[in-house]
């Protein structure tokens, strides 16, 4: 039995590195069986959150892009905001302008059409979260209309939840250990963010999660 456990531990260390596995062992010193179980639980936890994170990011992108489209129309511009030379976003943030150009460059490199939908798909999460910041406060009244669950026009709660979302997403994406953290709190914050974007998104995530 001892030999089998040692072999299993060695396999995990060979495949995933001793450094990675030591993160689990540190929570249950000298108990490699529990450490392996914790590793498995961490995999299950991360697999649960990926659909949530994907849906929230797409919902955020849709809400913000829709409002930027409406702002463009209200200003009498008949070109999409991603290609407008007098860009609503570009003129307010050099970082956002660079991310837009990088997105277009990446599309050209892959011989993809530089069209609005493709450009938006290429934009990083940080592009969208930056829109809910003081840098874009003059646009916020227009952008706020896109968040169906927002009870006031104060972006503070939304900005805080987006900061948590971005950090949590990065932790999972970089294979950090999340299973020892407060996952009930993570659930609460992610669902609250989904609700602020659109209560229907929160319900969709809950119904999807119950089917998985």
Please give the Cα distance from 95 to 101 (Å, whole number).
10
pLDDT at 85: 60
36-92 confidence digits (pLDDT tens)? 999 999 999 999 999 999 999 999 999 999 999 999 888 888 888 888 766 777 677
Average pLDDT over residues 124-153: 92
10-33 confidence digits (pLDDT tens)? 999 999 999 999 988 888 777 888
Six-digit token string for 114: 């530089």
Residue spans per domain, the chain: 56-211
Helix ranges (H only) for the chain are 2-16, 18-25, 32-74, 94-109, 116-122, 125-130, 140-144, 156-173, 183-197, 199-211
Backbone CA torsion sign across 23, 26, 30, 31: negative
| Residues in Cβ contact with 141 at an 8 Å cutoff, skipping those fewer than 6 apart | 153
Please give the Cα distance from 142 to 19 (Å, whole number).
48
Please give the Cα distance from 70 to 176 (Å, whole number).
39
pLDDT at 88: 74
CB 58 within 8 A of CB 49: no
141-180 confidence digits (pLDDT tens)? 999 999 999 998 899 999 999 999 999 999 999 999 999 9
pLDDT at 1: 47
């Amino acid at each position: 039995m001892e030999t089998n456990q040692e072999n299993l531990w060695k396999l995990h260390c060979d495949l995933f590195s001793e450094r990675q596995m030591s993160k689990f062992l540190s929570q249950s010193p000298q108990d490699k069986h529990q450490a392996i179980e914790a590793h498995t639980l961490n995999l299950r936890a991360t697999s649960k959150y990926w659909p949530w994170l994907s849906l929230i990011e797409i919902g955020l992108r849709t809400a913000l892009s829709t409002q930027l489209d409406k702002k463009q129309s209200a200003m009498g511009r008949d070109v999409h905001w991603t290609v407008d030379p007098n860009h609503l976003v570009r003129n307010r943030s050099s970082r956002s302008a660079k991310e837009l150009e990088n997105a277009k460059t990446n599309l050209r490199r892959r011989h993809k059409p530089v069209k609005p939908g493709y450009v938006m798909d290429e934009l990083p999460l940080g592009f969208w979260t930056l829109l809910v910041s003081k840098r874009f406060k003059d646009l916020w009244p227009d952008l706020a209309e896109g968040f169906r669950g927002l009870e006031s026009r104060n972006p503070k709660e939304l900005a805080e939840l987006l900061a948590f979302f971005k950090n949590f997403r990065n932790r999972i994406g970089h294979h950090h250990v999340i299973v020892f953290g407060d996952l009930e709190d993570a659930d609460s914050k992610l669902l609250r963010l989904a609700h602020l974007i659109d209560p229907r998104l929160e319900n969709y995530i809950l119904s999807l999660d119950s089917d998985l």
